[in-house]
Amino acid sequence: MGKITLEMLAKSPSHTKKRRDETVQQYVRRLTHLHFSEKNIDEIDNLYHCRNLSVLYLYNNNIARIKNLGFATNLTHLYLQKMKITKIEGLDNLKRLTKLYLGSNAITVVEGLENVESLRELHIEKQSLPPGEKLLFEPRSLQALSVKNNIDSVEELKCLKNMTQFFTENNCLTDMKELSRVMTAWPSLWRLELTGNPLCHKKKYKDRVIVMSRSLVMLDGKEINDTAKRFLMNWKASRDARRRQRKQLHFLEGGTSSNFISGSSNALSSIPSLPPIQGMPDGGYMINPGMNPLLYEGVVPGGSHSVALPRGAKPLAAIMQARAPNSTLLNRKPTEDMSQSRFPNIFAPPRPIISEGNWETDSDIHSGPPVPLQT
């Protein structure tokens, strides 16, 4: 049986150096950090000499019970990972404990923390649970963890798939998107307490939280009205459908249409161009006086006629001019009022897509349901 002895305390690696004129007891009393990981220790004992202990490393041992720590009122960090602990106990006097590490044990219930007033971090991942068992939270300990712990993120709690109640009042949560991701990972959550967090001051806060979870029935101590929840869920589903439709339309107008135009240009480039009219300078083409010069890249006046410079192939314009020299489409004058024109304005820029406000945005300018709901 491995026990902690006074000799082990004196030989423990530490930044505190033993003075020549002090006894072992005096030296041990001044120790603040103890490193006893991987020492085959199976019992926490004989640490009462360390009155100033603040950090204790005991991970990777054979300890099955947390005990004999009542003296450690100055302890702030306690490392108890990878052992055989089945119950959280013996922590009532640790008033200054801020970080508790209990990962990779055999704990089934998070309890015994109602008097640990200064706790800021609880690490309880990878518990070895019996088949069919799940990690449970004792209500009093959960309430103690939720109050005034300066919690600003709950992202790491997504792994608790069987969470049913979550209390985190008077903390520092601000990110609605992070909360949405976490609540999506908790399909059994039915009660949520968020009062006193900064995100509670965001516009339509309750409406936005309600639609994050279909299982939620109580928010901030009040039961959620079924009719109100059904209305919000249907409204959000309709809004998401419109958003998907806008994305598809944007894809068709932006991506597919540009590909189509690119393919059409390649196809037109294969049309043979008309030979230049003999006698024209630089091999130019004859253009009627009323022809729209915008169909060509460059136009040079030439007395009673104009000459288009052949900057690249112009097969489409040349064919249109040859087959319809008096076409009103080519020779029309600009129309002030396009509604009176015989032809649509095919060169007009596309209308901008006006996007609606995002439901998940944190902006105060947020478009919500048409009628405010009382929950």
- For 180-201, what is each residue's pLDDT tens digit? 999 999 999 999 999 999 999 9
Percent of the chain clearing pLDDT 90 (strictly above)? 33
Distances (CA, A) of 189 to 124, 217, 235, 236: 19, 9, 22, 20
Residue 347 pLDDT: 54
Tokens 């991506």 correspond to 255
**Around 251, how many Cα atoms within 13 Å sit in the side-chain half-sphere?**
6
Considering only 135-149, 159-173, 232-246, which range has the smallest mean pLDDT? Answer: 135-149
Tokens 């009040």 correspond to 222
Average pLDDT over residues 78-99: 94
Tokens of 108: 């089934």
Q: What is the pLDDT of residues 195-236, one digit of tens each?
A: 999 999 999 999 999 999 989 999 999 999 999 889 988 988
CA 299 to chain centre: 56
Residue 261 pLDDT: 44
Tokens of 130: 């019996």
Residue 197 pLDDT: 92
